[in-house]
Structure 1
Amino acid sequence: MSELRTDRLLLRAWRESDLAPWAALNADPEVRAYFPELLTTEQSNASVARFQADLDRRGWGWWAVEVRATGEFIGFTGLDPVEDDMPFTGVEAGWRLARTAWGHGYATEAARAAVDFGFRRLDLDEVLAVTVATNLRSRAVMRRIGMTHDPADDFDDPGMPEGPLRRSVVYRVGRTP
């Protein structure tokens, strides 16, 4: 499995010690504001098992993110193939950080590392990211890592309930020669 390092972060395999802070992050209404529900501890633990299985099988996926200076677990970032029920295909970059990690540039730094991995190691031509249209914080990260938005790509996410969380936007970045 690949580990990624940036100046301040380590994107790594999941550890038993990540389970409690990951569950707390997924139970935080502000962190989950753009998702239809909070996750239970069991749901959070199951997601970690899936994430780690993908990392073990492919060598890439949703990595745990740790602050190198302190060893603190702050969330996840990575790459994953787009779900089959989406109106497009490709590999998606994503991130979710604990509220205490917001505002430090960690999401941008981790996302850049994941996208760079996609281009250099996976030989992808493009990486995309998807979020709820009103999620301005994630959209800002997408712009900071060089992604662009084409309103023609916007869609209603079939996995979301009717309402304000359903409208989604797609940002894309292509490999630079």
Structure 2
Amino acid sequence: MILQTNRLRLRPWKPCDFDAFVQMNASPNVMRFFPSTLTPLQSIESARRLSEELQQQQWGMWVVEEKSTEQFVGILGLQQRSIDDGILTKPFKEIAWRLNERHWGKGFATEAATAVLYYAFERMHVDVIYSLTALVNLPSQKVMQKVGMQDTHANFQHPRLDVNSNLSWHCLYKISKQRWKAQL
């Protein structure tokens, strides 16, 4: 499944994406809102898993590429979260992204997220999409707001992070299909 916007293509993974993904995940700047950078092996394992999920489900974490250059921009898409993740008391779909820093500030995350929300609500018939990030991650919160998501004001300590970490406190945003349709 390929999604397209004016400037971007969200597509399945190709072997040539793995190197760009490894480099992106090794950047301290890109990974500043994560517990640590990833080793090349961790990135390759993650890319394989994400690629397989996307292929099997026809939704997941797409590779985002700039149409005009076919350059790897990052990844963006949907992840299935379970009760076992300790975030909500019900399973939910989360929209998430990670972009290479040379593509920041161009509106790519907002543009790609808008396409994924359209796909989730219109093609997958999802009722609500959530997004979460560390409270200190203001750039991602801005993207959430730009695509019409609202802060649930249900901040929480992420169960997989050290309680003493400045990243442990997270915010939770959401958008319903009804709200999304109303803002079109």
- Normalised TM-score (structure 1): 0.96
- 2:125 counterpart of 1:126: no
Report how far residue 161 of structure 1 moved.
Answer: 1.7
Structure 1 residue matching 2:35: 3-state secondary structure: coil
Q: Distance in 2 between matches of 1:86 and 1:144?
A: 27
The two structures, once aligned, show a CA RMSD in angstroms of: 1.0
Partner AA of 1:17 in structure 2: C
Partner AA of 1:156 in structure 2: Q
Structure 1 residue matching 2:76: 3-state secondary structure: strand
Instruction: Check the 8 A contact 1:54/1:61 in 2, yes or no.
Output: yes
Instruction: Check the 8 A contact 1:79/1:115 in 2, yes or no.
Output: no
Q: Distance in 2 between matches of 1:119 and 1:167?
A: 29
Report how many residues are paired.
175
Q: Distance in 1 between matches of 2:127 and 2:27?
A: 35
Aligned to 1:96: 98
After superposition, residues 47-62 of structure 1 pair within 5 angstroms as: 47-62=46-61
- Structure 2: runs of 5 or more not aligned: none
Instruction: Check the 8 A contact 2:8/2:66 in 1, yes or no.
Output: yes
Aligned to 2:156: 155
After superposition, residues 106-125 of structure 1 pair within 5 angstroms as: 106-125=108-127
Report how far residue 21 of structure 1 moved.
Answer: 1.1
Aligned to 1:22: 21
Q: What whole-Å deviation, never above 9, does each CA across 1:117-163 have from its counterpart, x for those lacking one?
A: 11011101111100001100000000000000021x21110111222
Aligned to 2:85: 85
Instruction: Check the 8 A contact 1:74/1:98 in 2, yes or no.
Output: yes
Report how far residue 85 of structure 1 moved.
Answer: 1.7
Structure 2 residue matching 1:16: 3-state secondary structure: coil
Q: Of the candidates 135, 145, 148, which is equivalent to residue 147 of structure 2? A: 145
Partner AA of 2:102 in structure 1: T
Q: Distance in 2 between matches of 1:80 and 1:120?
A: 17
- Structure 1: runs of 5 or more not aligned: none
Runs of 4+ in 1 over 4 A off after TM superposition: none
Report how far residue 87 of structure 1 moved.
Answer: 2.7
Partner AA of 2:127 in structure 1: D
Aligned to 2:168: 166
Report how far residue 90 of structure 1 moved.
Answer: 0.9
Instruction: Check the 8 A contact 2:87/2:159 in 1, yes or no.
Output: no
